[in-house]
């Protein structure tokens, strides 16, 4: 989803910083955007490391002069019951999915304030709104944390013209969902939960992120944009 968002933002004229722990994949997106006439910069970022975030923001401002938009997109999953979940598994998912959003938000706010405002878009999940037996406690808890951290950020920084909104995708065709999609029985169980009867595509999420990042959503903050094929409508 992050790659789709970066490419779409570049198509719309944004200067994009692609930040990821996966260097080869991140540089491939950077090169693709630049080859098509856009402007992109790759920086290596471990979202669980405070210093990495500081360096990423500094690199962005150093290259492009300011920071207007932050999309907190990094996330990992899991599947276990509460009593079978190890402390290590809990902490790993919470570190990436929740702590990473906190660190990114904290690092971006001073730069956005200097720029006169900005938009923070946090990728949560439909499982940050409702439970699912086949999910893990750490995934649902982390995505719920993202939802409420977003609302708190929106309230605390509205007077700085910094908006914060969360996006809640349902099942999307990405590497994270590949295991469930490759198992016919699991795939059918997931489809049965989606009124539209299919998985979403990364671009379908990216357009929602683009809206929340843009001036067209200037009066939108503290909100939840659900892109889940109807999952949470039931």
Q: Which residues contact 91 (CB under 8 A, 6 or more apart)?
A: none
Per annotation, catalytic residue among 139, 187, 199, 207: 139
Residues 6 or more apart in contact with residue 65 via CB below 8 angstroms: none
Measured CA to CA in angstroms, residue 219 lies from 47, 114, 210, 213 at distances of: 29, 20, 15, 12
Active site residue 187: no
- DSSP state at residue 200: B
Rounded Cα gap, residues 6 and 209, in angstroms: 10
CA-CA distance, 40 to 63, in Å (whole number)?
10
> Which of 186, 183, 67 is closest to 135 using CA atoms?
186
Among 191, 169, 232, residue whose Cα is nearest residue 2 = 169
CB 26 within 8 A of CB 20: yes
> Where does 51-196 show beta strands of DSSP type E?
69-72, 118-123, 162-169
Distances (CA, A) of 72 to 1, 6, 140, 213, 229: 11, 12, 17, 12, 22
Residues classed as catalytic? 139
């Amino acid at each position: 989803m992050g790659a789709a968002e970066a490419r779409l933002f570049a198509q719309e004229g944004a200067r994009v910083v692609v930040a990821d722990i996966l260097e080869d994949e991140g540089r491939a997106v950077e090169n693709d955007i630049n080859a098509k006439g856009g402007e992109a910069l790759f920086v290596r970022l471990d979202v669980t490391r405070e210093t990495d975030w500081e360096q990423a923001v500094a690199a962005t401002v150093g290259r492009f002069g300011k920071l207007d938009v932050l999309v907190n997109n990094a996330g990992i999953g899991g599947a276990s019951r509460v009593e079978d979940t190890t402390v290590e598994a809990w902490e790993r998912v919470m570190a990436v999915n929740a702590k990473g959003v906190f660190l990114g938000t904290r690092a971006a706010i001073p730069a956005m304030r200097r720029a006169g405002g900005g938009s923070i878009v946090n990728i949560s999940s439909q499982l940050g709104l409702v439970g699912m037996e086949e999910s893990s406690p750490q995934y649902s808890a982390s995505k719920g944390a993202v939802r409420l951290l977003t609302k708190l950020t929106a309230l605390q920084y509205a007077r700085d013209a910094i908006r914060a909104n969360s996006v809640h995708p349902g099942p999307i065709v990405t590497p994270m969902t590949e295991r469930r999609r490759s198992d016919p029985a699991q795939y059918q169980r997931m489809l049965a939960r989606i009124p539209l009867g299919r998985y979403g595509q990364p671009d379908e999420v990216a357009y929602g992120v683009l809206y929340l990042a843009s001036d067209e959503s200037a009066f939108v903050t503290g909100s939840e944009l659900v892109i889940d094929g109807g999952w949470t409508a039931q």
